[in-house]
Amino acid sequence: MQTQNGQTVLMEISDETFSYDRDGDWQISSLTTSVGADGQASTEAIMRQPLAGKPLSCAAFLPYPDKILDCAWADFGDCLCVPRQLSELLNQPLEDFVECFNQFYDSESWQREGVSAHDLKKWCVQNGYGFFSQWAIGF
């Protein structure tokens, strides 16, 4: 695995290097180019947005995208992606995991933002689950 300055290199594009930052916040950027009916191209850039609770739109850049649960790609219109994926992975009701995170946060307010990577790691440790993140990119 390639490293630079002691960090694992995830991707190199256009003379930019993206490295895994274990302590960084998860963020994602996207660049979309489309061609209108008149043949004009337009480009939209969305930079360094929080990833929590949103469907993944960066599969081409993720290692092993075929190992990611199908529900991670869908937009359910809520911020329950972590409990939903745990529910599917562990074959337990979604409501059970929502309640687990309500207790973990001692509140329901997390449901407006989603579960952060840092908090998911803490939750996994507290509940005896392994935690491995292959795609977190910190900026």
Task: Report DSSP state, residue 30.
Answer: E
Contacts of 20 (CB under 8 A, 6+ apart): 7, 8, 9, 10, 136, 137, 138
Question: Do 83 and 115 form a contact (C-beta atoms < 8 A)?
Answer: yes
Residue type, 51: L
- Kindly tell me if the per-residue pLDDT of 136 is higher than 50: no
Rounded to two decimals, the pTM is: 0.57
> For all residues of the chain together, what is the average pLDDT?
79
28 φ, ψ to 5°? Answer: -145, 150
| Greater model confidence, 53 or 129 | 129
pLDDT at 139: 32
> What percent of the chain stands above pLDDT 70?
71
Q: Where are the domains of the chain?
A: 3-126
| Greater model confidence, 137 or 62 | 62
Tokens for 97, please give them: 């995991």
pLDDT band at 137 (very low <50, low <70, confident <90, very high): very low
How far apart CA 56 and CA 64 sit, in angstroms, is 13
Q: How many residues does the chain have?
A: 139
